[in-house]
Amino acid sequence: MNTPKIHLATMAILVILSSCGNKKNKDKTTDQAKPYPVITLSPKTASIYSDYPATIQGIQNIEIRPKIDGYVADIYVDEGASVKKGQLLFTINAPQYEQNVKTTEANIKIAVADVNAARMNVDKVKPLVDGDIVSPYQLESAQYTLESRQGALAQAKAALNNAKTNLSYTKIYSPVDGVIGTLPYKIGSLVSSTTTNPLTTVSNIEKIYAYFSINERQGLDFFLAAKGVTMQQKLTTLPPVSLVLANGNVLPTTGKVETASGLINAQTGSINMRATFPNHNGLVRSGSSAVVRIPRTIDAALLVPQKATYQIQGKLFVYILDASNKVKSVEITTAASSGDSFVVQKGLKAGDKIVADGISNLREGLEIKPTKVNADSVYNNP
């Protein structure tokens, strides 16, 4: 009668032993070292770059303002349109200037008549003086009158030129080739020479200026590394720079750093600089934001792929491999970027082995199975 109970107990023990064995096997599988790509650091020649936020301006940004008071009669361009030098942009309705021209033209006719009359009087008095019929005083008086009338005529002609000049201000032409900015005033708007906003702005963007700033320390390093004696000589020896646009694309044409301010801004401790870029297709407009990228070559740099790093509270770390194939996190300091890699300034040395990828699953002291990877293939394939 006890035999079934013994069989049941035996089966229960076998089930428990089997489950324990499976658990041990599972734990053994879990603790098994997994393979990770590892690279050995060695000095390399690297082209690094430094990025500086910049604001863009055309080589000419000309505010178009009226010189007279009147109403906007016609607008011949639209915002963003390309215009040529001498192209008509606006007409201002100011009829008083047309009337001034007509008035001064009438005054000239009167002045011409007065001059002719004075000349006739001189011609009449002169023979009388020659014949001692009248006093020479009368001839002298007539000549003074003629000179006065001639002066009045010259004054009237000057007034006509001035009136025509004012009338010409009713038509506003583009002073340069460029692109039209905003048009804050519409047809019928009252404008004057004291109006706060200009009628528009014409920007010549065939070339563009990128204005950026570097701090005092960067400026010293920057110019000490450049060749030349004077500041201008150093600027001319700087390598071409790139312009990174707001969408992340790089302007196809490179530019040149041409100027650096002679004074350091006491409030910000920065040096203002300007780079010039060709902009033949007009892609970049005045007022745009961009980044000036300045390259530099380092002969012996330790490069760490960006995907081999992680951040904690703004600090950068990598996992290095020790002799027992266990990983250890190390904080690094970087000097700049070179493509998809960081240039290490502090924290690593040549010969150190680091985990190149898949670091999200690592933890301090974890044993891994290192898989040696050619460093060049890692740097060339982001």
> Pairing mode, if any, of strands 34-40 and 368-372?
parallel
Contact 376, 43 (CB under 8 A): no
Residues 84 and 190 in one domain: yes
* pLDDT at 16 exceeding the cut of 80: no
Question: Which pLDDT value is given to residue 26?
Answer: 44
- CA dist 137 and 131 (Å) reads 14
Question: What are the φ and ψ backbone dihedral angles of 172, each rounded to 5 degrees?
Answer: -110, 125
DSSP summary character for residue 134:
S
Residue partners of 179: CB distance under 8 A and separation at least 6: 58, 80, 81, 82, 83, 202, 203, 205, 282, 285, 286
- Predicted TM-score (pTM) of this structure: 0.61
Instruction: Provide the CATH number for the domain around residue 307.
Output: 2.40.420.20
Greatest Cα pair distance, the chain, in angstroms, is 181
Inside any domain, residue 192: yes
pLDDT digits (tens, 9 = 90+) for 235-259: 888 889 999 999 989 999 999 998 8
Number of domains in the chain: 4
Percent with pLDDT over 90 in the chain? 40
Which structural domain, as residue segments, surrounds residue 206? 51-58+202-297
DSSP summary character for residue 241:
B
Give me the mean pLDDT over the 289-308 stretch: 86
Residues 346 and 374 in one domain: yes
Residue partners of 302: CB distance under 8 A and separation at least 6: 41, 42, 43, 44, 343, 344, 348, 349, 350
3-state SS, 70-92, equals: EEEEEECCCCCCEECCCCEEEEE
The residue out of 236, 267, 297 marking a domain boundary is 297
The residue out of 266, 297, 328 marking a domain boundary is 297
- CA dist 96 and 164 (Å) reads 12
Helix or strand (DSSP H, E) at 206: strand 200-215
